[in-house]
Structure formats: structure tokens, C-alpha cells
Chain A
Amino acid sequence: DGGITQSPKYLFRKEGQNVTLSCEQNLNHDAMYWYRQDPGQGLRLIYYSQIVNDFQKGDIAEGYSVSREKKESFPLTVTSAQKNPTAFYLCASSPLIGPYGYTFGSGTRLTVV
């Protein structure tokens, strides 16, 4: 079945370390997105990409970096510059053409220890 796979499901990071969250999709979607969700809050856009080797900052890009070397993959790196990285991270994808909704992954819960 087609879908989005995020890994790992849980991730623990020591302060000062960079960590990379994986997001892979087999839906042949052109656009991919990363969101951050804090407890009891909505989703905030970190980065998005609509084509390989191109990506744009969202509302809260500081302290994060991404790459899009393949259409299927859009990894997110949480750098040491992100001062409050503990959160639930969600990856999504969508076609560019047509009124189709987003497909989301199951998320990665990152905790700084």
C-alpha cells in the first residue's frame, strides 16, 4: 500500500547534538512538508519542497535543515541551534495538481534529554 513512512517513532537527543528524522513516501507526490506540533497545539510548518533539490522555509525554519535529493525522500535535521526541539514532528506529502488532501506520516516524537 502507498503511504508515508517516518522513522524513528521515538528519538532521544542530548543537548548540543544534531539529529535527522527520516521521511519516505511511495505515493509519487511532488510536494513534501515538515510540521512541528507542541502539546495541545496545532501544526506549524517548518519546511516544504515541491521539487527535487528545491525547498522553502516555512513559519518556523530556524534551527532546522532539510534536503530533497530524491522525490521520495525529505529528511529533516534538527540542529543544535534549535533551542527547544522537544516536540512531535510530522511529515506530509501531496500532489501539486488537483484538489487532493495531504497524506501524513505517523510522526516522530523527539525528546531532548
Chain B
Amino acid sequence: DAKTTQPPSMDCAEGRAANLPCNHSTISGNEYVYWYRQIHSQGPQYIIHGLKNNETNEMASLIITEDRKSSTLILPHATLRDTAVYYCIVHISSGSARQLTFGSGTQLTVLP
């Protein structure tokens, strides 16, 4: 699975958009980009995933660059409840269990 690089921390004002970047320059053609978040002392929560096209769901939007070497998770109107660690993971979708390792992620702090 491709390695990802994320900034260790970011701040965002409440009500503003939070844009969380992720670099995955070694991504291969059949690897998806996944985003999860972990609120303190809870299990991680799946947010969104994508392959090539931009994706949007009720939680967030995912923008993947045309060369697929980086992506941005967008929380359009951040709230205090969005304060969490956000993980960007890249892996293939296959018929076997995936041995994923979650790195340190980005600590997003939403400020009042």
C-alpha cells in the first residue's frame, strides 16, 4: 500500500471550511484513497473514499488531483464536534484482508 504524508496539526475557525491535505505520491492505479477520523478515546470512523473522481457525502468532500498524487478532505462548515485526528489511508480493494497501518494523522482543532 502507498505511503501517505499529512501535516501533524491544523486549526480551523468554527463555521469555516476545513481543508485537510494528504500526499500519496506513490499511489498506484488501483489504489483508493480513504479518510477516517478519530475523536478522542473513541474508535476511528470512516468518512469517505475515492479512486479518481471527486466525491461528496453528508459528512465531507474528497478532492483528488488529476495525477492522483494528493488529495484534500473538505469539511464545508466545521463545528467543534469535528475536532479529531484525521487519517488518510491508501489501499487497493481486493479479495483479501488489508493490512493497514494508520499513521499519526492530522490533529484538527476547530476553534470557537
Contact = CB atoms under 8 A, between A and B. Distances in A.
A43 B46 contact: no
Main secondary structure of the interface of A (DSSP, over half): strand
Given A88-B41, A104-B45, A31 B97 contact: yes
A90 B43 contact: yes
A75 interface: no
Interface in B23-59: 32, 34, 36, 41-46, 49, 51
Interface residues of A, number: 35
A42 interface: yes
Interface residues of B, number: 25
A12 interface: no
Nearest to A51: B97
A106 B104 contact: no
Interface of A: 4, 6, 30-31, 33, 35, 40-45, 48-50, 56, 58-59, 88, 90, 92, 94, 96-107, 109
Given A42-B104, A59-B101, A101-B34, 12 more contacts: A6-B43, A42-B103, A42-B105, A43-B101, A88-B41, A92-B43, A96-B97, A98-B93, A99-B51, A101-B46, A101-B49, A104-B43
16 contacts: A31-B98, A33-B97, A33-B100, A40-B104, A42-B101, A42-B105, A43-B102, A45-B101, A50-B96, A59-B101, A98-B93, A99-B49, A101-B46, A102-B36, A102-B46, A107-B42
